[in-house]
Structures are given as structure tokens and as C-alpha cells.
Amino acid sequence: MKVAFLVAPEGVEQVELTDPWQAVTEAGGTPELVSTKPGRIQAFDHLDKADTFPVDQVVRDTSAGEYDGLVLPGGVANPDFLRLDGRAVAFVKSFFDAGKPVAAICHAPWTLVEADVVRGRTLTSWPSVRTDIRNAGGSWVDEEVRVCTDGPNTLITSRKPGDLKAFDGALLAEFAKAAMV
């Protein structure tokens, strides 16, 4: 199972990157850090700078066809930067077009809204994103994890770092199914 983790050069909530990354690794999968620029990304612990991580692939040089699934970690700034980058938005949309599972946590559904892939789907997020989801034609629920299969692919969403255990379990189950196809 090969999984892309799409993040902006800065602003990702570190635990929302490292916890699912570790889960994929422990399940025998291969995570890859994909960003809009080469080099290293700067993670955050809320508003404080945390660690940096090396970029494995630049979004312009890779495609959904190379992966079994996509993880979109949150943080407030991360999805806001990603949704302003046309290549990043197209990369996200390509997973939906290919019918591959996507997992997004916290503020990450902002990138899904920009990719126009939430219409007719039910998902969860950090509460402040609910109006954007509804305005984009989706339904918002306040749940620890939501696995939505009412579309061309499976969409796994969670609200916050406190939901990571459930988020990791759901994304591992769905990504393992996709890797078997």
C-alpha cells in the first residue's frame, strides 16, 4: 500500500501528519510526502513551529496513479495554502476521478471544497469548516470519523487530533482494500 500525504511547504499540524504516517508504516505501507515545492516542509503544533520533514515528491512530478490512497492532514494554514495551488487541487481531484480513497482531517476539507468533490457527500471536519462544506453542496456531521461511500470513491474524514486513532483505523482499512484492487 503506497500512500501520498499532500502538504503545503508550511502550516501542517504535525500530529495530523505523523500519526497517520506512522499507522501506514506500521501496517507495512509506504507513505510519501508530496508538496508543492521541493526541500523540507515546516510542521506546526497549533501556532508554534515544530519539526521539518523532507519532501519525497513534488506535486507537479507525480500522479494519483502512483498511489493507493491520499491523506490530507490539517492545520489551519496547510489546506489554505494548498487550495490556492492549482496543481495541488488537481492532484486531489485526480484521486476522486480515479476512484481512489482519500482521507482528510481537521481543516483539510477546505482543499476538498476547492477541488469541488464534496457535493452530495457527507463528511466531518473541524467545526469552523462546516459552512464551507455545506455551501459546496456537502452535508456536515459532528462525528469522530466519517467513512463516506456515496460517490466515486471512499472519503474518510475526522474532526481533530483527538480523533486520530479512529481516523487511522478507518483510513488503513479503506486503503488496504484499494491496494488489493
Please determine, for residue 181, whether its predicted confidence score (pLDDT) is greater than 80.
Answer: no
**129 pLDDT above the threshold of 80:** yes
Q: What is the pTM of this model?
A: 0.97
Beta carbons of 11 and 76 less than 8 angstroms apart: yes
Per-residue pLDDT at 3 exceeds 80: yes
Taking 90 as the threshold, does the pLDDT of residue 51 lie above it? Answer: yes
CA 45 to CA 25: how far, in whole Å?
Answer: 22
Determine the Cα–Cα distance for residues 168 and 101; give it in Å rounded to an integer.
13
Do residues 55 and 34 make contact, with C-beta atoms less than 8 angstroms apart? yes
> 128 falls in which pLDDT band (50, 70, 90)?
very high
Q: Which of 12, 70, 104, 106 is catalytic?
A: 106
Q: Which three cell numbers stand for residue 18?
A: 505523523
Concerning whether 46 is annotated as a catalytic residue, the answer is no
Helix (H, G, I), strand (E, B) or coil at 85: coil
Mean pLDDT of 14-32: 98
**Mean local confidence (pLDDT), 66-71:** 97
What pLDDT does 132 receive? Answer: 98
- Is 148 a residue of the active site? no
83, 93, 100, 107: which one is catalytic?
A: 107
Averaged pLDDT of the chain: 96
Question: Looking at residue 152, what is its pLDDT?
Answer: 81
DSSP 33: E
The pair phi, psi for residue 169, each rounded to 5°, is -60, -45
Query: If phi over 0 gives left and psi between -120 and 50 gives alpha, with beta otherwise, what is residue 48?
Result: beta
DSSP state of 153: S
Q: What is the pLDDT of residue 150?
A: 82
Please compute the mean of the pLDDT values over residues 39-55 and round it to a whole number. 97
Q: Which residue has the cell 483539510?
A: 108
Q: Is pLDDT at 101 greater than 80 in this prediction?
A: yes
pLDDT at 135 over 80: yes
Helix/strand/coil (H/E/C) assignment for every residue in 40-60: EEEEEECCEEEEEEECCEEHH
Name the H helices within the chain.
14-26, 77-82, 86-97, 109-114, 130-135, 164-180
The CATH superfamily holding the domain 2-180 is Class I glutamine amidotransferase (GATase) domain (3.40.50.880)
